[in-house]
Each structure stands twice: as structure tokens, then as C-alpha cells.
Structure 1
Amino acid sequence: MKVLLKWLQDFVDIEDNPAQIAEKLTMVGLETEEVIYTKELFKNVVVGKILKIENHPSSDKLKICEVSVGTDTVKIVCGAPNVEENRYVVVALPGAELQGNKIEKVNIRGVESCGMLCSEKDLGLAVHSEGIILLENSYTLGKPIYEEVYKDLDDVLFVINITPNRGDCLSHLGIARELSAVFGKSLKKIISKGPKLIGQTKEFKVIIEDPNLCRRYTGKLVKNVVIKPSPDYIKVRLSLCGMRPINNIVDITNYVMLGYGQPLHAFDYDLITNNTIIVRKAKKNERMVTLDGKERVLDEKDLVIADTDRIIALAGVMGGANSEVNANTKNILIESAFFDPVSVRKTAKKLGLSSEASYRFERGVDIENTPIACEIAGNMMQNFADGQAVCGVLDTYPLPYEERIIKFRPSKCEGYLGTKLPAEEMEKRLENLKFGITKKRFEWDI
């Protein structure tokens, strides 16, 4: 699990040294394997300006660009179709290493090239790029890109080994909750106003055939979205955490998952037959094509999401190609659900199809968090996809969560720990973890 310090600080105010944070996490059972200062990943990647462009003498497609990088001017051979004179660009100088590729001085058809003009794909900020990055503003030539252009590249990345029993820590919020207890800090409010839960809507309906396999399914409709790239900070955070930025809609679902721990899926609403979601078991030898383009043969043990005609997703594992968000998508249905961990694990293992979503569902997600994550994603799509979120979250909740009361004796806790710990300290730690406490004479109800 990769988490970023700046992202953690969205949830809890911690200003401690990263080494101290790593040590504290390890001491509470979250082994921190590595601490990476992410700006080091972008050494020798700076702001430049194209001063002059000439045709390459031995190629019709290549250009020779004279580029100022502050105190020096270098020549770079570039084949991008969008190079322009007097434009600010991102330059990887010799010594840089991007996406595992070392940048060196090279001879390209008889011309020495001293670096590379970068695209978003080169920086890990896009899956595809049609040309180099052309910066819209003026920047200081020669400055590292993490100082002026992409400031979120200057962060601290913690690589944490999460044990299978700590599914609650598979998000920035989950790690922040642990840090809040360790450092005695309060968690910030994750949403200013809770979602309005509705039992039915004329826009779509949800049918759950087996509540034991899907105890809760929430959905939210966002209309008239514009598919476009995400804001830079979203792309940077996703990339540093090991996920590929794709487009604003897909990126928002991944951002909410990494931030809050709830996997989401975005359907193209107009591709759902009769606007009906049916959570059911697959039929024997029923087939579907998943988002990776592969046909899957299913059986009665696999839980699927279907409309009235066909399967549109493997529940908790991967979406279907027939309802995928594409460049022409206008309306989005956000899915946020609680699927049975055992069912998800069996399907993912049988099909050899592990995903970030299945990884979390297999370990258990917070069933009470599903409508909140849905609402957060809807708000983000309003802000970053120009959409109009339909009021309310449709909440189908056939098997509501029942709180468990744990009997806790402070005196026994000291015996297990083998050390003295004041009851006041125990109470404070539990409250920081958001446990409710009812004190009795010899024991507490947690």
C-alpha cells in the first residue's frame, strides 16, 4: 500500500518527521518498508523554453529544437507533432530517469540530442499522449518541475505492508485514523454534509436477488458530464500511488478508493438497459467481456451486476466493456456497494483477475461508508467533469449493519500488554479511533 504524506494531511494534521511517522506506523503493526522523497524521482526534469526549431537533415518527422534551460541552451531531437517556438516545455536532461528509462545524450541520425521533451505519458500522468507538454504559463527556466509546474510531485511516499486482517487500512483515511490515535490528533471531517439517502428514484432502480452476497448497494446519477483529463493534483497523486490516470471520471473513482477505502465503479448510464441494476448470480456458462477486453465464462457461483438484458460488471472485481465510460459518455451512474468478501475472492481467483477493487472487497470494506463515498464522487464529478449530480443517493440496504458491543476491562488490557497504561490514555486512544465508550464500574462497553 502506497500513501502520500500530503494526502494524509488532508485527513489529519501531522507535521512530524517522515522517519518518525514511519517508525510509529511500524510500531502499531503497519510495517513501513520504504520512505521515498518523491521529488528524487524527477531529478534533472526542469522547465525549458523552445527558442528555435529546425528540420532534421535525415528525417521528415524529426525536429531539432534549441531549448533554453536557464543557464544553458541544449539541442534536443524531438518527433512530437506539436513542438512550437517560444513555448515553455518540460525537459528531461541527461541523468534523469522516467518510468524506468534513463535519459542520456544520444546520437539520433547524426545529430546529438541532449535530453528529451516530455509528454504527460513520460511523466506517468497519462496512459496516452499525442504530443509533448506545452505549458500555458511562464515559469522560471531551469527550475525543477516539482517546484513550479507540478508541485504535488514534491511529497513523501510511504510503502506500507498491510496484513490481510487490516482491510480498514487500505486507504489514506485508514492510515490517517491510525496516525490520529498515535499522535493524539483529531481526524478532520471527511464530508461537510452527509448524503441524502433515498429509497427510490424515477431515474433508475436496483434489485438485489441475494442480500447475503450484496448487503448494500448505493448509486448516484450525474448528468451531462464532460470527459476530459483530471486536474494535475489528482493525476499526480494517482500516479505516485501506482495507478494510471485515464480520464476525469475513472480517475475520480480511483481517487475516492485510494482516499477513503471504498471501491467504486462508473457506468455509462445510457448503456444500462431499462435503467435497471440487478445484482444476481451468473448463469452457467454465461459470458461477458471485461474492461481488459477478455471474454469471461462464468457459472452460478459468480456474483454479477446486470441490467435487464445482460451482464454489465463482475461484482467487486471489474466492469464490463459493454457499459464502459468512453469519450461520448454524457451521463454517469456511480456504484458504491458492499459485496461479500468470500464471493469476490473466489471469483477473482477462479478467473485470475485481481484488481485494486477486489483486493479491498476481499478484505472487507466499511459498509457504513458506501453512501458517503458515492456522494463524494458525485461532488467531484460536478467540480471536475462539469456534471450535474442528481440530488440524493439511492440506498438499497437489505441487511443493515448492527453495531457490536465489546466488553473491555482496562485491568486485563494492562495484563495483556505487560505494561502500565493509565485508563485515561486508553480512553484517549480509543476516542481518537472514533470508538464510542460507555464506562461501567469494572469494564467499558466499546
Structure 2
Amino acid sequence: MTRPLRVAIVGAGPAGVYAADILTKSETPVEIDLLDRMPAPYGLIRYGVAPDHPRIKGIVSALHRVLEKPEIRFLGHVDYGVDVKLDDLRHHYDAVIFATGADQDRALDIPGIDLPHSFGAADFVYWYDGYPEAPRDWTLDGEEVAVIGAGNVALDVARVLAKQADDLVSTEIPDNVHAGLKDSRVTDVHLFARRGPAQAKFTPLELRELDHQADVEVIVHPEGFELDAASEEAIRTNNQVKTIVKTLQDWALRDPKHDTARRLHLHFLRSPVEVLGTDRVEGFKVEVMELSGDGNVRGTGEYETYPVQQVYRAVGYLSSPLADIPFDHQTGTVTNEGGRVLDLDGEHIPGVYTTGWIKRGPVGLIGHTKGDALETINNLLADLATIPKAEEPSGESILRLLEDRGVEYTTWEGWARLDAHEKALGEAQGRERIKVVPRDEMVRISRSE
């Protein structure tokens, strides 16, 4: 090929950016367009991680350096399946990589889960992260709330629910989020994990963050704090598990303070059974579990009820299906083999690939996405001889298509304008940044020359 390989990557979060970075480091000359339905880049780093997370800045800086590369172009506010279809992308690019992540809450099939004031974690995360399509208002009118889950998202949700609103002023939270948290009546947050402490899915850093909050006491309840043979083996062979269990043990043994405005309770070996209530959430019923010796759990037939007024389920994310792309609803992933997207007959659709959570499911940390991207890009490069060449591969041709369709796309230069605007809003209040929430306002600021 005498010209650079033209690649479209749908999704400008970590998965898409890592794939672009690996492509630019290959021996193949490339031109890459990162398309995203949001007017701003960074995906879940902007809209899926708690604003007080200590590693956000470092990750954003790394992604920023990649997006500044001359081979990469950002095209925001372009909605795949609405503004452009698969045939459009294959007409203008030699290869297409889908990296759209996981944006929906996994269901939890228990009675009462659909009662008013029972929420999916993603909805709450989108609210406090200022996602343009999330509700602007959130009522925290219950004194006791339950969080279901033992992963990092569950810890983020529990921490934000327990946090004092003014402790988040230094972050980029929008004003409406600060106001909502300021009006919170929450006094006790209960986090319920189905398995034991050695089987928790959160990481030591996220766990320790719970104990760094002003006027919040973390209470590890000894009932359910059990270790079996499999737990002891995990502690012996895995430093992360060892650190988590040691931290939890230290917290369980310390004397209670009884002098904080809020408390964050950690309950292990408690499996969700039912959300109680008639017109809204009035309680939460769990079954007491026991370890079975091999790291699994079994029910004891003993039940407990907690008088909570809100429930947040953080039991996993799911990806949304994509137009014209085979999707496995069982796993919540695009049907693929090593990142090569497969058709209904199990054959590779030439030039079409996937990476990130929509490829492998929403498991692992952000850094694990690099391994996904490497596998996908290696397979793409191995397929170069058989990939159909784009009919209109010029960088201008896709822009003409978008303009002809009236798509008000945003660019990397536009993001620089929005980024500066948000920082200026923050500076006026002595803060690092205040996030702009409305999509039309983001587009207007980004496109204003």
C-alpha cells in the first residue's frame, strides 16, 4: 500500500486510545480517526470514575499524550449507528475497531429490585460525573442506603454516598452534583459482599481510600469476616489479597469512634435476596452465606433485614449492542476471536475488529485494556494483505460526509477550547475545573473558533 493505512476507532476511551497508540508504534504508516459519541474524549475516565480518584490525572495525562500524536485525529459528537453506519466506515477506512466499552448496569434478578429508589450504580456514577445524558437531579433523602457489590465501582459509589459534599469541591464535579450531595440525608452506607473478604474484587488502593474521608467512620462487621482454606491459600500466594485482608482485619479490630456524622459499613458473606417496600424502598433482605472451603459460598438459610431507604446495585456493567455488528447477549460482548469480529457463521468480517470491555467483558482494570489492544492490533496487522482497501480513504472525505449529514462534529482543537473553558470556570471559584454538562453547550464551546 503506497498510502498510510486508514483506521477508524469507534470509542475514544482508554481502550480506543491504547489501540491507536499501539498502531502508531508499528512499522505500518497509519492515519487514525478516533470517533466518539461524546463531544469530549477519554470515555470512562471522564464519565465512569469517581471524581476524587487519585489516579485520574495520571491516566488522563497519558491518554492526552497519545491523542496529540500527528497520526491521530479526534472526531467527537459522532454517534455510530446514527450519524455513521458500518458501511460508511468501511467505505472511508481500511479497518474499523470498535472500543465502545460497557455503559449499562447488569441486572439483578431479585424481588423488589425495580422499586423506586433502587438504582443501578452506572446511573449514579453518570450523575456525579456529569454525563450529559444522565438526570441533573438526584435525591438522597434516605438516612440508610445499601450498596450491593464488592468491586471498585461499589466502593466508589459507597464512598461518594458517605462523603461530605464540601470534600469534593476541589474536584471537577458540576455545581448541581455538589448541591445534591450537600442536601444528602445519608448517615449510614451499608456495602454488602456475597463472598468473603479474601474473595473481594476491589483493589487495595480503592479500599484504603474509604478510610481517608473526613467525618466518616469505616466499620467492618465481624459477622461474615471468615477465611477458609482457599482464602488462606489466596492470602499466601497473592500479595493483593494479603493486603486487602490485612487492611480489613485491622479495621475490624479497632475501637469504634461513635463521633462521626456518617458511617460506612462493610458486610461480608451477605447475599441479596429481596428489596422490600411497596411504593418505594423500605428495606433490604440478605441471606447469610458461608464459605465452602474452595473459595465458593453456600447459603445457610439464615436471613437478615436492614431498614434502608435506597439501594444501589454494583454487580457489573454490560455493553450495548452495536448496529450491524454481531453481539453475544449472553456475555454482553461483540462476537469475536482475538479481536477479529465474527459474522453469524463464525467467519471474520474483513477489516472489522474490537477491543476493550466490549471485546472481553467488563472485567479487570484500565491497564488490562492494553493487553486486549495489543492482541487486536497484532491480528489486524497480520491481516493487512487480505483487508479490503477503502474506496474513499482521504481524511477529508469522511469530514465531507459528516458535514453533508449535518453532524456538528468536534475535534482535538475543540477539546482544547472546552478544556480551557472548564479550567477557567474552576479558577473563578478556586477550583481546578468545573465540568460542563449539557451536550449542546459542550459542542458550542468546542466548535467556537
TM-score category of the 2 structures, normalised to the smaller one: under 0.3
Q: Which has the larger radius of gyration?
A: 1
Higher relative contact order (CA 8 A, sep 6+): 2
Q: TM-score scaled by structure 1?
A: 0.23
